[in-house]
Amino acid sequence: MRIHFKTKYQQDVRLFEDGWTMGVYGVLIVVAILMPFILDEYLLGELISILIWSIAGMGLMILAGHTGQASLGHAAFLACGAYMEYWLQSQGVPFLISLPLSGLFAGIVGAIIAIPAIRMSGIYLAIATLAMGVIAEDIIILLHDYTGGVEGVFVNPIFLFGLEIERYSTPDLFYWLCLAVTVLVTLGYANLLRSSTGRAFVAIRDSEISARAMGINVSLYKTISFGISCFITGIAGGLLAHFLGFFNYEAFLILISIQLLLMIVIGGMGSIHGAFFGAFVVGFVPQIITIISEQFTSQAVPGLNTGIFAGLLIAIMLFEPQGIYGMWVKTRVWFELFPLARKDMFKRHRSYLKTERMK
């Protein structure tokens, strides 16, 4: 059992709890770097997909998990990043500049949309973002000269430090590139949560009334949260464009937004780890379902993946609202406290102030 005896405020906001935690993450990064030498091209492609969806999940996690603002239209910001990356690459802009600019474009669009959207909350905000996602599909088709419309577009390979990086011809290089971007986004996200801005996000999530009472400009920080969330999602969209190679508006349908939300709920709302756990579920569960179903039938079963995901979501909501990460934390603490752990140790006792009910 590890005991953290904190004597300074800085110890409470440090990036890693202790040296052991830092070592574990270091080992995980080393293992991740070695994956191209262990996996074949197919599994490596699936792992690349998981990294990209993890970045997109972290983007939505900032907004929904740490600021408490529901969004059902984040596929639109994936599209913003993807199409801007395509356009910049077609203009000959270097990748190290085009990818951040793609994220910045999505972030600016998100911040602009947030100005009227933050006037709503709860189900009304979710419906507004859902409508935005539907409108984005029509905009992509209407801007045919820039987006390729229904026909779609082909994205140029990445040229970086004299190397051509492409998903199929050089999957190992493309994987390492996505891994590097994922690590940078994760470190940036973790440091954001340690800052006053990140703490303001969490305060707004927990209680807008209490946040206002503490002097937090709720409207400003909601807009900042939208912008940062869409910026990260745009980065994922830029990588997704290169991962797909060819895409059209159908790659960013409203179902992608719902999948993103399901991903962070299943993984664990309010934690960076939840984005990764959810991405693994979204990435590997369909493959496992396909492999198992092929053992019993030679025909594809329509709606099987959707049905299993729906059942998985219902089960998690009923038995573990904190998602897979919540299950992992409880299991870890149980082993650390054994034999002192008790069944009701994690039981939540809800008690609200009157102002809390007025959110």
- Over residues 234-243, the pLDDT tens digits come to 999 999 999 9
Whether the CB-CB separation of 26 and 16 falls below 8 Å is answered with no
On the question of pLDDT at 301 being above 50, the answer is: yes
Mean pLDDT over 124-147 rounds to: 84
Q: What end-to-end distance do the CA atoms of the chain give, in Å?
A: 39
> Domains of the chain by range and CATH?
39-348 (1.10.3470)
Is residue 161 pLDDT above 80, yes or no? yes
Buried b (16+ CB within 10 A) or exposed e, 257-284: bbbbbbbbbbbbbbbbbbbbbbbbbbbe
Q: How confident is the model at residue 3 (pLDDT cuts 50, 70, 90)?
A: low
At residue 300 the predicted structure's pLDDT band, cuts being 50, 70 and 90, is low
Q: What is residue 61's predicted lDDT score, i.e. its pLDDT?
A: 92
Q: Which two tokens stand for residue 254?
A: 């409203």
* Structure token digits, residue 179: 């891994």
Q: Which two tokens stand for residue 172?
A: 């190992």
10 Å Cβ neighbour count for 209? 14
pLDDT at 179: 94
pLDDT at 355 (0 to 100)? 47
Instruction: Give the tens place of pLDDT for each residue, 316-326.
Output: 777 777 888 88
Q: Which residue has the tokens 């939208």?
A: 226
Q: Which residues pair with 158 in a beta bridge?
A: 165
Tell me the pLDDT tens digit for each residue of 66-113.
Answer: 888 888 888 899 999 999 999 998 888 998 999 999 999 999 999 998
**pLDDT the model gives residue 298:** 63
Cβ atoms within 10 Å, residue 130: 17
At residue 6, does pLDDT exceed 70? Answer: no
15 versus 107: the higher-pLDDT residue is 107
The angle subtended at Cα 21 by Cα 20 and Cα 24, nearest 5°, is 90
In what helix (H) or strand (E) does residue 122 lie, and over which residues does it extend? none
Going from the C-alpha of 41 to that of each of 47, 67, 169, 173, 174, the distances in angstroms are 10, 38, 10, 12, 11
